[in-house]
Each structure stands twice: as C-alpha cells, then as structure tokens.
Amino acid sequence: MSLVGIIANPASGKDIRRLVAYGSVFDNEEKVRMIRRILLGLSAVGVNEVCYMPDTYGIVNRALSEVEIPIRCYPTPFNIKGDQDDSIRAAGFMAQRKADCIITLGGDGTNRVVVKGSVSVPILPVSTGTNNVFPAMIEGTIAGMAAALIAEKMVPLPEASYRSTILEVVLDGQPADLSLVDVAVYDDPFIGSRAIWKIEKVRQIFLNRAEPNSIGLSSIGGLLHPVSAESPQGLVLELGKGEGTVTAPVAPGLIQTVSIKKKSVLTVGEETDVTFSPAVIALDGERELEIQKGRQVSIRLKSQGPIVVDVHRTMGFAAKNNILTSNPR
C-alpha cells in the first residue's frame, strides 16, 4: 500500500512583499486547481492512499469535490488552529503513518515547518509562496506523477532525490530552531511584520544554498559564491562597507546593490556566531526569534536535512527505464 501526504498552506503567496515589491498573489483557488491536478497524477500511477492536512480554506476538500479517483483520501485527525503548528503536526502524523512522500504547496517558510514535523519522509516541494528557493515551480500533474513513482517504488529514491543540509540556530548552547535556506540577522528589537523586506536592516546572512538564478537573500550569496542544494557547504555574509558590493534581486522586481563587509565558507558541523544584538533572527525569510543583548547565538550547518524529491530526475529515470511505456525500446 502506498501513501502520499499533502500539506497545502492557505496563507502562502500573500505576505507584505506584495506591497513593497512586485510579487504575484497566489490565491487559494489556484491551489485548489493545483491539488486537483496532483490528485489526478497520483491516481494515474496507482497510489492507494492520500492523507492531507485540513485547512481554513478547505483546499484539498474543494479539490476532491470535483474529481473521481480510486484513492482513499482522509484528513489528519486533529483540529486545525490556522497556524504553523498545523503543518508541524500534520507532517508528524504522516511520518507516523509511514508515508512514502509528502507533497507540499507553499514557500520556503511552509517547507521549514513541515521539516520541523518530520525530516524522515521524502518531501516534494511545489512552489506557491514568495522568494522561493527550496520549492520549485512544478506543474501539479507532473508533481503528482513523480510522487506516485516514488511512493510505488517504481523509481528508487536514491536515483530521484538528494539530502539537503539545514541551518540550525543554537541559542545559549541549545538548538532553538532551523532553516532550510537562509538565516538573517535583522536590526530590529521586535518581530513585527514577519517578512524580511528592508535589506538595509540585515546585518548577517547565513546560507546553505546560494544559487545565482535564485531570488531573495540567497541570490546575494549566489552571485558572490554559488553553493548548490546538494553541497556540504554553506556561506556566511556580513553586510556593510568592506569587500565590495553585489547587485541582487532581493525580492520579485526589487533589485538592490548590497554592500558586503566580509564573506566566509561554512562547513558541515561548523558553528559561526551571530555578532549583532539585540536583533531579530529571520528563518527562510520570516522573522521568528527575538534575541536580547547578552544572549549567545550561533548558526550550525548540519547534514541531516530532509530528503528532497527531484521531479526532473524522477521523470528522467522513468523515461530511461520505460516505466510508463508499453513498448520498450
């Protein structure tokens, strides 16, 4: 029996960066249509069960109301709160049920909290948020088929995935939180609006992936010292006058020249101190932790991140091995 989990965030794609930059709004009706196509893709390849996180908009329920598929679909058995805990608990429940794969709809922040709930189940992240680096823009039909190929064991997981590193926040010697892409030290005493959009207030950036074709804080590192998603390295940037500048797309349509005081490479297992306080620590673009003066904070690069399904690799393996064809070459 194959089981695929679905976690769709109804709040992704709607934050303040739509007001201060030029990001598009990703409404929930489009998410319903995407889930509908995902379900049809899962069904076509033979998935038996789907467990999904219920949400305040009813994304999966609405999608199910207009498709007929021979899949047993059921929600996670808890009352939703409409906050991050829903995704954490849903991922944990799916891991307990031994899900073969979890499909997520959301941005970097959505996937971060899913990974906090479970790091053991392979994740297939579909982008519907802002400044996304971790999830990719994938057609829902293909995402469903790829997840089904993994769940049905038609494509071996090592051939279709990679294990991501994570950035761990260490507060006074104890792990406090994690990030999938970036940690930013923000010159502000209070969390306030969660999204990061004033680059002049960013003092340090820690990255475990930095690609030149990405957007957001990752793009700053990507244009200086690229780090791939599968690399066992990270990058630390201290902003301010010093080594030079980089012109980077820090938000959709928002391109700024950023001054770089210092950059250094972070290796797996290594910790680097946060050197600015009081401050707010932002994780994957969202402010999460208020750090008072005198607290000891460091960022550690860890290798035990999530297993990420690569749709291109998955479908390529299926094509090469005639998995979905009836006339082998």
In CATH, what number is assigned to the domain containing residue 281?
Answer: 2.60.200
**Whether residues 130 and 173 fall in one domain:** no
| pLDDT for position 243 | 78
Q: Are both 55 and 147 inside the same structural domain? A: yes
pLDDT given at position 18: 47
- What is the residue-averaged pLDDT of the chain? 92
- The count of structural domains within the chain is 2
Does 8 share its domain with 115?
Answer: yes
Do 288 and 144 belong to one domain? no
Rg from Cα positions in the chain: 20
Residue 203 backbone dihedrals phi, psi, to 5 degrees:
-105, -40
Same domain membership, residue 81 and residue 213: no
* Angle of helix 84-96 versus helix 108-117 axis, rounded to 10: 50
User: Is the CB of residue 175 less than 8 Å from the CB of residue 185?
Assistant: no
pLDDT for 2 equals 97
288 vs 176: CA distance, rounded Å? 11
Q: What is the pLDDT of residues 36-70, one digit of tens each?
A: 999 999 999 999 999 999 999 999 999 999 999 99
Q: What pairing do the DSSP bridges indicate for beta strands 123-127 and 182-186? A: unpaired
**Residue 328 is assigned to a structural domain of this protein:** no
**What pLDDT score was predicted for residue 252?**
84
Note whether 200 and 141 are same-domain residues.
no
Alpha-carbon span 138 to 143, nearest angstrom: 6
Contact between 310 and 160 under an 8 Å Cβ cutoff? The reply is yes
Q: How confident is the model at residue 277 (pLDDT cuts 50, 70, 90)?
A: confident
The secondary structure of the chain in percent helix, strand, coil, rounded to multiples of 5, reads: 25, 35, 40
Longest dimension (CA), the chain: 68
pLDDT reported for residue 11: 85
Please identify which residue in the block is written with the tokens 């293909």.
142
Amino acid 242: pLDDT: 85
* DSSP state letters, 193-214: SSB---GGGEEEEEES-B-TT-
List the structure tokens of 96.
Answer: 């307990």
Task: Answer yes or no: is pLDDT of 329 > 70.
Answer: no
Is 60 exceeded by the pLDDT of residue 15?
Answer: no
Which residue has 């290594």 as its token pair?
A: 270
| Region 184-192 average pLDDT | 81
Pair 200, 210 in one domain: yes
pLDDT attached to residue 19 = 47
Q: Cα torsion at 32, 33, 34, 40 (round to 10°)?
A: 110
Domain membership of residue 260 as a residue range: 166-302
The CA distance from 114 to 102, in Å, is: 9
pLDDT of residue 213: 92
Q: What is the pLDDT of residue 130?
A: 63
Each residue of 196-209: pLDDT tens digit? 667 889 999 999 99
How far is residue 324's CA from residue 2's CA, in Å, rounded to a whole number?
Answer: 18
| 251 contacts 23 by C-beta, under 8 angstroms | yes
pLDDT confidence band for 307 (50 / 70 / 90): very high
Find, among 9, 299, 257, 230, the residue nearest to 130 by Cα. Answer: 9
- Higher-scoring residue by pLDDT: 242, 181: 181
Q: Tell me if 38 sits within 8 A of 144, measured CB to CB.
A: yes
In a domain, 326, yes or no: no
Q: Are residues 206 and 178 in the same domain?
A: yes
Contacts of 39 by beta carbon, 8 Å cutoff, 6+ apart: 50, 63, 64, 67, 69, 71, 73, 144
- pLDDT at 148 (0 to 100): 98
Give the pLDDT score at 145.
Answer: 98
Tell me, what's the pLDDT at 20? Answer: 52
Contact 91, 102 (CB under 8 A): yes
**Do the Cβ atoms of 186 and 279 come closer than 8 Å?**
yes
